[in-house]
Amino acid sequence: MSDAFSPRKRSSIMSAVRREGGALERRLWEILGGLGVKFSRHRRDLAGSPDVVLAAGRIAVFVHGCFWHGHPGCRRAVLPKSHVKFWSTKIASNRRRDAYVVRKLRRGGYSVVTVWGCQMADALKIGRRIVSALSRASAAREGQAPPLAASPKRVPSTRVRRRED
Which SS3 state, helix, strand or coil, does residue 61 take? strand
- Please give the pLDDT value at position 146: 52
Q: Is residue 30 part of a domain?
A: yes
Q: Is residue 115 part of a domain?
A: yes
**Tally of domains within the chain:** 1
How much is the mean pLDDT over the chain?
84
> What's the pLDDT tens digit per position in 9-64?
877 776 766 666 788 899 999 999 998 999 999 999 999 999 999 988 899 999 99
- Please give the pLDDT value at position 1: 46
In percent, the amount of the chain with pLDDT more than 90 equals: 57
Q: What is the dihedral of CA 36, 160, 155, 133, to 10 degrees?
A: -50
96, pLDDT greater than 90: yes
Q: Is residue 27 part of a domain?
A: yes
Instruction: For residues 16 and 28, give the distance between their C-alpha atoms in angstroms, rounded to a whole number.
Output: 21
Q: Residue 22's domain spans which residues?
A: 17-142
- Please give the pLDDT value at position 161: 44
Pick from 134, 133, 127: nearest CA to 151: 127
Q: Is residue 73 part of a domain?
A: yes
Q: Is residue 164 part of a domain?
A: no
Instruction: For residues 97 and 19, give the distance between their C-alpha atoms in angstroms, rounded to a whole number.
Output: 16
Contacts of residue 114, defined as CB under 8 A and 6 or more positions apart, other chains included, come to 61, 62, 64, 98, 102
Domain CATH number, residue 130: 3.40.960.10
Question: pLDDT class for 144, splitting at 50, 70, 90?
Answer: low
Instruction: For residues 108 and 97, give the distance between their C-alpha atoms in angstroms, rounded to a whole number.
Output: 17
Q: Is residue 152 part of a domain?
A: no
Q: Is residue 161 part of a domain?
A: no
Contacts of residue 162, defined as CB under 8 A and 6 or more positions apart, other chains included, come to none
Give the pTM.
0.75
Q: Is residue 156 part of a domain?
A: no
